[in-house]
Structures are given as structure tokens and as C-alpha cells.
Homo-oligomer: A and B are copies of this chain.
Amino acid sequence: MKTYKSYLFDLDGTVYHGNEPIVSAIHFINKLANSHIPYGFVTNNSTRSPKQVAKRLNGMGILAEPWQIMTSSVATASYLQAKMPHSALYIIGEEGLFEALAAFAQTEDKPDAVVIGLDRAITHEKLSKAARFVANGAALIATNPDAMITTESGLVVGNGALVAAVAYATKTEPIVIGKPGAAIVEAAIKQLKLDPRHTVFVGDNYDTDLLAGIHAGIDTIHVQTGITTDLSAYKIQPTYSIPSLDDWPI
């Protein structure tokens, strides 16, 4: 087993299950903190701000500060700053996305890009505005491609479904930022000033977490505490697969 200099963690299924902390992960992360080994968290959730996510982790006994949290909204802001820094946006989303994109102008008059994050107050009018702007040439940018997500109120459609509606209406392929894309991992590495050669991505879900790490070209550790239980079908294997973080020495 390789010794890594820094760690990135998925959240749900890796660090907690809904409101239940995963004890092995909590222990491991706090050992990293005590040993001054850098770590961060990478989440497709676009609705919460890094501050809100950090507060939630703190409430579970995990040492985490907002700058250690890379949400798909912050990664989207990072992408836009790099690729279209002076663009005016039409935004569909919740607090976490609007906060992340606060530095950009917003307009309903020929926006350069339509950015869509999960919006549980989505309306036909918002979708129609987005589609009209994209049909008129605006880029279509998705914070993440989640199909369905687990929330306090059960399984609900994720952001990918809202984006699919606009993509279908406009026959346009969206630019997708979150996992399993590399952009969100790259944004975390940049924000935390990590060396990708010595950084490992820890996650439970092959199709999102491990693929995101693989796409970003960094090592991956599969923890068998969440969604993916059988890796045999996958052509590209994670670097390691372990029952839980109790089985990983720092």
C-alpha cells in the first residue's frame, strides 16, 4: 500500500450515510488532521455552500473548514473563471450555486451561459427561459449530472434530470462539471494546493467518485461502505479496494 501525502473524500457513503456518520471514516480523517496531512471533500451537491457543508461535518465530529470543501457549485465557478471569466449568466439553482457564482453578472438578456444546479423550486418558466437562451447560443453548463439523489424526504430527481430537460428541448450537449468528470477533482486539487501524484481519492461509488479520480488521473481507494459493492464488471479498477478506512494505514 502506497503512502499518500494528501486525501480527497467523497461524502455520502464514504464519510456518512445520510445523517449517520461512518465511524471508521471519522476516525481516519481526524487522524489525518492530527498528523497535519492535508485532506478535502468533494461533493456533487450544488445546493449547499462550503460553509454549510463544513458545519454539517463538524456536527458529526469531523474537523473540516469551508476551504477544504469542493462542491460542484464552487467547481463550476472555478471552471467559468478559467474558461469564460467575464460571462453574464442565467442561473437555475439554490443558495449554494448563487453564492458560488456571486462574482458573475446575471442577466436575462442574451446570457453567455446558462448554469443549472439542482433547484427544488424548478418551474416550467425557468426551464423555458433556459431553453430559449441556449437555443440563442448560450452555453449549457451543469454543476453535476446526478440522476436521482437521496434526501431527507426520500429519493428525488437530481440535477442531471433538469439539465436533461433543457438539453432535450434544445438538442444541445451540456458541459458537465461534477463527478464523474475530472473538473471538480482538479478544482479541489488546485484549491487545496495538492500534488496530484501523491493525492488519492477515497469514495464508495464507482460510477461517480472512482471514475472522477480516474478521469483526473489520480489514484483511487474504493471503500466498501456504500453503493458499489462489486467491482468485477469494471474494466478500469480503482488503485485499491478496502472494507473500510479502518483498513488503511496513514
Contact = CB atoms under 8 A, between A and B. Distances in A.
Interface of A: 119-125, 127-128, 131-132, 135, 147-148, 154-158, 160-162, 164-171
A169 B165 contact: no
A157 B122 contact: no
Contact of A164 (B122, B125, B156, B167): B167
Contact of A165 (B128, B131, B164, B171): B164
Contact of A131 (B119, B121, B161): B161
A121 B121 CA distance: 11
Contact of A124 (B121, B131, B167, B168): B121
Nearest to A122: B124
A154 B124 CA distance: 13
B165 A162 contact: yes
A59 to B, nearest CB: 26
Nearest to A128: B156
A95 B157 CA distance: 25
The 8 closest A-B pairs by CB, nearest first: A164-B168, A128-B156, A161-B165, A161-B169, A165-B165, A157-B169, A120-B124, A164-B164
Counting chain B CB atoms within 10 Å of each CB, which of A119, A120, A131, A166 scores highest? A131
Contact of A132 (B123, B154, B162, B166): B154
Contacts of A157: 124, 127-128, 131, 165-166, 169
B156 A160 contact: no
Nearest to A164: B168
A2 B155 CA distance: 56
Given A120-B124, A122-B122, A168 B147 contact: yes
24 contacts: A119-B124, A120-B124, A121-B124, A122-B123, A122-B127, A123-B123, A124-B156, A128-B154, A128-B157, A131-B156, A132-B155, A147-B170, A147-B171, A148-B169, A148-B170, A157-B166, A157-B169, A160-B168, A161-B166, A161-B168, A161-B169, A164-B165, A164-B168, A165-B165
